[in-house]
Amino acid sequence: MPGGRDDWQDMSMHRSRIALICLDVPHGDREAATAFWEIAVGASARTGEKYPEYSAFDGAGGKGLLLQGVGDDTARVHFDIHTDNRVAESERLIAAGATEIGGQDDWVVLRDPAGIIFCVVEVPADHDSLVGAQEWQ
């Protein structure tokens, strides 16, 4: 197993799947980017209550689309993996070769072996984004 560990199968059972495409834009570009993506995907943006720097686009073509204002000048795209057990999923991915680089209370930020950044976000077990999710043991 890449990353030097082959015990990822021993992690507690959980589910996960790629659930969101996230557009990271500089704070100064957030308003214009939000207006553009509303037109591009034909969906209205809804600003988050807990994290107002995030805007979700409801009904944006199947996958969830989220736009977030970031504190640097780099625009980029990343994805979020939703899971019902953030710790187990993060440990599974670290065992496969990912590196933890940050996070908040609700998510952890990881980097894959090629340098691609993504987030692992814990959601309730009955969350819509986990319908059809992969089960891990």
What's the confidence (pLDDT) of residue 11?
Answer: 53
The domain limits of the chain are 16-127
Q: Please give the full DSSP string across 36-79, using - where no structure is assigned.
A: HHHHHHT--EEE-SS-TTEEEETTSSSSEEEEEEESSS--EEEE
What average pLDDT does the segment 86-92 reach?
96
Q: Is 136:89 a contact under the CB 8 Å cutoff? A: yes
- The model scores a pTM over 0.85: no
**pLDDT, mean over the chain:** 87
Q: Is the pLDDT of residue 93 over 90?
A: yes
**The predicted structure's pLDDT at residue 49:** 86
Least confident of 60-69, 97-106, 112-121: 60-69
pLDDT-derived band at 84, boundaries 50, 70, 90 = very high
Question: Do the beta carbons of residue 37 and residue 67 sit within 8 Å?
Answer: yes
Task: Report the pLDDT value the prediction gives residue 63, as an integer from 0 to 100.
Answer: 64
pLDDT in tens, 7-49: 444 457 999 999 999 999 999 999 999 999 999 989 899 988 8
Which numeric CATH code is attached to 16-127?
3.10.180.10
Separation of alpha carbons 135 and 69, rounded Å: 32
Cβ count near 82 (within 10 Å): 25
The token duo for 52 is 């107002």
CA geometry: angle 36, 78, 15, nearest 5 deg: 120
Q: What are phi and psi of 112, to 5 degrees?
A: -80, 175
pLDDT at 77: 94
Asked if residue 105 has pLDDT above 90, the reply is no
Q: Which sign does the torsion angle of CA 9, 131, 127, 23 carry?
A: positive
